[in-house]
Amino acid sequence: MRNLVVGIALCAGGFAYAGCNSEVLERQAEQLRQQEIEISRQRKELEALAAGQTVQDERRRDCTRAFRDYFDKAQLSTNREEKISLYRQGLKVCPEDDVAYYELGRALADAGRTAEAGDAFEAALRINPDFADARRQLEDIRRSR
């Protein structure tokens, strides 16, 4: 133990000690290994984040297309069946839009298709449990059954 303490003191003091260089090199090699492990972990994390961002960007593009091609047209349509069809087509492209499910539910309820309307309101609430209007519409349908 005393030799180790003397060796460390000599290494720290900058004296040339035979075991000093190999100990320092071993410590540096271990530090490099640990840094390589950490860099690899961070690289994987960045790749996962980039992949998640790509998926999120694709969803955003899909939803933009759904609004342009379907949801906006459904809002303007005066034909109930066309409105229902447009919302359904848009929801195939952008299936996580709670408002589109809500609007589909309203169109279905207006058409007297209350069971389907209830399903649409439930879908809106699965996406957004705090959607008060969807909850109210669903409760009205359940009361009327």
d(CA 142, CA 121): 11
Q: How many CA atoms lie within 13 A of 139 on its CB side?
A: 6
Hey, what are 100's tokens? 């589109």
**Per-residue model confidence as pLDDT tens digits over 123-137:** 999 999 999 999 999
Q: How many CA atoms lie within 13 A of 119 on its CB side?
A: 5
Assigned token pair, 75: 């809002």
Write out the two tokens for 113: 């298709």
pLDDT of residue 8: 47
Tens-place pLDDT, residues 14-68: 555 555 688 889 999 999 899 998 988 888 887 777 766 777 888 889 899 999 9
Class of the domain covering 2-144: mainly alpha
Q: What is the pLDDT of residue 12?
A: 52
Tell me what pLDDT residue 52 has: 67
Domain boundaries, the chain: 2-144
CA dist list (Å): 107 to 39, 74, 78, 111: 54, 10, 10, 6
Between helices 98-110 and 114-127, what is the axis angle to 10°? 170
Mean pLDDT of the chain: 86
The mean pLDDT value for 89-100 works out to 95
Model confidence at 9: pLDDT above 90: no
Read off the pLDDT of each residue in 60-89 and give the average, rounded to a whole number: 94
How much is the pLDDT for 18?
Answer: 54
